[in-house]
Amino acid sequence: MFASCTDPAALGDLHWLVCYLTTAKHLSFYASFGTVLLLLAVTAPAALALGFAGAVAARSRVLLLSWLGKGYIALVRGVPDIAFFLFFVIALDQGVEYLRHVWLCPDWSEPIRQGSDFRVCPPAKAPLGNAPQWVHEVYGFALAVFTFALVFGAFAANVLFGAMRAVPRAQMETAEAYGMTPRQSFRRILVPQMWVYALPGLSNLWMVLIKATPLLFLLGVEDIVYWARELGGTKTPQFTDYPHGDWRMWYFLFLLVFYLAFTRLSEIVLDRVMARLTKGQATLGGDAQRKAAA
Amino acid sequence: MKNLILPAALLALTAGGALAQTVRLGTEGAYPPYNFINDKGEIDGFERALGDELCKRASLTCEWVKNDWDSIIPNLVSGNYDVIIAGMSITDERDKVIDFTQDYYPPTASVFVAKTADANTKGVVSAQTATIQAGYVAESGAQLLEFATPEETVAAVRNGEADAVFADFDYLKPIVDAAGGELVIAGEPVPLGKGVGMGFRESDKPLRDKFDAAITAMKADGSLNALLKTWFGDATKTY
């Protein structure tokens, strides 16, 4: 990166380190932190939306919807994450390609399954075989986001389902006494009041989601764990300008600090949100706030 | 509607055939000198140089893809890339699932590396998962300690978890050289496998034949031998 880095072997320790930490490979490592943060930023709202839909479906009076919601919650929560991430993503990818195949190549005569091979016609490949590598990466990332959202959405649905039931019945009865329709009382009373009951569960989920991001590498997305492993590995002088021993411990220590700092930051933010949501609620926390103010 | 789709699909098909189709080459990027990630973060090594040359000779546009060793065959057959070029030895077991070209690297010698030259190579021996070396260790009666990456197999010897590591001579050689006497080669070299070849889906015969022809050409004009010497030293086996 810097012009003075052309001959690393001749540099002093500190200068060497500066040069080492700014190689193009290290820049990819730093960029992968962005990948992880982006995944969290996209997945969290998506999972919450799925969870909300799942919870609403599960408590629906329409039997079919209710089964659908409850089935989603039970099924996804019951399957181990790692099985889900390995099996579901490949199945999803092949499902997309199969549908595109049926749509785009109606007169393709060769079978799709040939032994262990999965072959769709070239225009049905997702992404297309001649698409640039970044398209493949974006596609992989999108699959990852979808899978994460689906898994965490099921847990969120269960949390929200419980939170909706925790809102005091008296609040809903009052709404009915005011003549609100079920739809109105759901929107005006139930949803605003349920968050305070949902937040402890949701904050747990957020923490688990942060720690689950290394699963990204299973899906072929190069995340921080991949780069830490790659950069920390022993480098012999034949293949790099910066030979070093097994430094994986230092890289993983850095990841540990990153994850700890990030979860601590999340805790602080979530505490504030909790205080804000508690305001005026008929909960112990709400009572405590009222007494403190009085 | 159907009348519209059909010509459109046919057009897409023929257009796909006329355009230079990109061939995606999958490699591990963690097995120097065969393949590794250089300081620029790009795939480098013997197989990078070889793959680029073969693509040029076969007039194909190629793109490199990184994939974990563990899932390198499943991701090939499910179509995430078209070729495996990752120091993979040709074995009968793998040949049942995928197709190989002829070897572009002669049958390799694998060696044990340990802290002392008289280490117990029948004790605990580390090897990378799903390699011919792991298969050999398992059958030799030694206790096999498997790891997902080659890096970890060597680390296991350094920290005393394993008595020795068993891997390709060419992978271990630079590590032994750089270890300053901490690691040495133990016991005799073991010839294993039928050489290293490129892996293809069994249904991809035409693509395989293109690369096979290019390898034949490179063997004939001596350019493959020159490449082998560049990456593995003058003492390496050639064709």
Phi-psi map region of B141: left, alpha, beta (phi>0 left; psi -120 to 50 alpha):
left
Q: Is B168 helix (H, G, I), strand (E, B) or coil?
A: strand
Burial (Cβ within 10 Å: 0-12, 13-18, ≥19) of residue B127: buried
All CATH 3.40.190.10 domain ranges in chain B, comma separated: 22-106+195-232, 108-192
How far from the centroid of its chain's Cα atoms is residue B159's Cα? 27
Q: Which residue has the tokens 């459109």?
A: B8
State which residues form the domain around A177.
3-293
Amino acid identity of B90? I
Output DSSP code: residue B161: S
* Each residue's pLDDT tens digit, A182-216: 999 999 999 999 999 999 999 999 999 998 888 88
Question: Are B5 and A106 an interchain contact pair (Cβ–Cβ within 8 Å)?
Answer: yes
* Each residue's pLDDT tens digit, A86-96: 788 888 888 89
d(CA A166, CA A2): 59
Percent of chain A with pLDDT over 90: 51
- Please report the ipTM that was assigned to this predicted complex: 0.79
Strands B61-66 and B43-44, bridge-based pairing: unpaired
d(CA A219, CA A139): 11
- Chain B CB contacts of A244 below 8 Å: none
CATH of B22-106+195-232, one of 3.40.190.10, 3.30.360.10, 3.40.640.10, 3.30.1490.20: 3.40.190.10
Question: Are B151 and A246 an interchain contact pair (Cβ–Cβ within 8 Å)?
Answer: yes
Q: Does A168 touch chain B (CB under 8 A)?
A: no
d(CA A46, CA A50): 6
How many CA atoms, within 13 angstroms, populate the side-chain half-sphere of residue A49? 8
- Position A116 scores a pLDDT of 76
A112 vs A108, B7, B201, CA distance in Å?
9, 22, 13
More confident residue, A294 or A258: A258
Entry pTM: 0.82
Give which of B21, B39, B94, B151 to mutate to test A binding, by max A Cβ within 10 Å.
B39
B112 membership: H or E segment, kind and range: strand B108-114
Q: Inter-axis angle of helices A133-166 and A191-212, to 10 degrees?
A: 140
Would you give the end-to-end CA distance of chain B in angstroms?
59
> What residues of chain A, 90 to 109, have a C-beta less than 8 Å from chain B?
90, 93-94, 97, 103-107
- Position A125 scores a pLDDT of 83
d(CA B60, CA A213): 36
Q: Does B30 touch chain A (CB under 8 A)?
A: yes
Q: Which residue has the tokens 């004790």?
A: B123
- Whichever domain contains A106, its CATH number is 1.10.3720.10
d(CA B91, CA A89): 29
d(CA A117, CA B27): 19
Q: Is B23 helix (H, G, I), strand (E, B) or coil?
A: strand
Amino acid identity of B111? V
> What residues of chain A, 7 to 26, have a C-beta less than 8 Å from chain B?
23-25
Strands B164-168 and B124-128, bridge-based pairing: parallel
- Position A15 scores a pLDDT of 87
Quickly list DSSP for B123-150. SEEEEETTSHHHHHHHHHTSEEEEESSH
Q: How many CB atoms lie within 10 A of CB A3?
A: 5
- Position B146 scores a pLDDT of 93
In the predicted model, residues of chain B with pLDDT beneath 50 are: 1-19
Residues with Cβ within 8 Å of A117's Cβ and at least 6 positions away in sequence, in order, are B77, B79, B201, B202, B203, B204
- Chain B CB contacts of A111 below 8 Å: none
- Chain A CB contacts of B154 below 8 Å: 234
Closest residue in A to B158 (Cα) is A246
Question: Are B13 and A122 an interchain contact pair (Cβ–Cβ within 8 Å)?
Answer: yes
How far from the centroid of its chain's Cα atoms is residue B204's Cα? 19
Q: Is B31 helix (H, G, I), strand (E, B) or coil?
A: strand
Structural domains in chain A (count):
1
- Position B53 scores a pLDDT of 95
Q: Is A127 helix (H, G, I), strand (E, B) or coil?
A: coil
Q: Which residue has the tokens 């009348």?
A: B3
What is the CATH number assigned to the segment(s) B108-192? 3.40.190.10
Token digits of residue A183: 């739809």
Is residue A155 pLDDT above 90, yes or no? yes
- Position B9 scores a pLDDT of 44
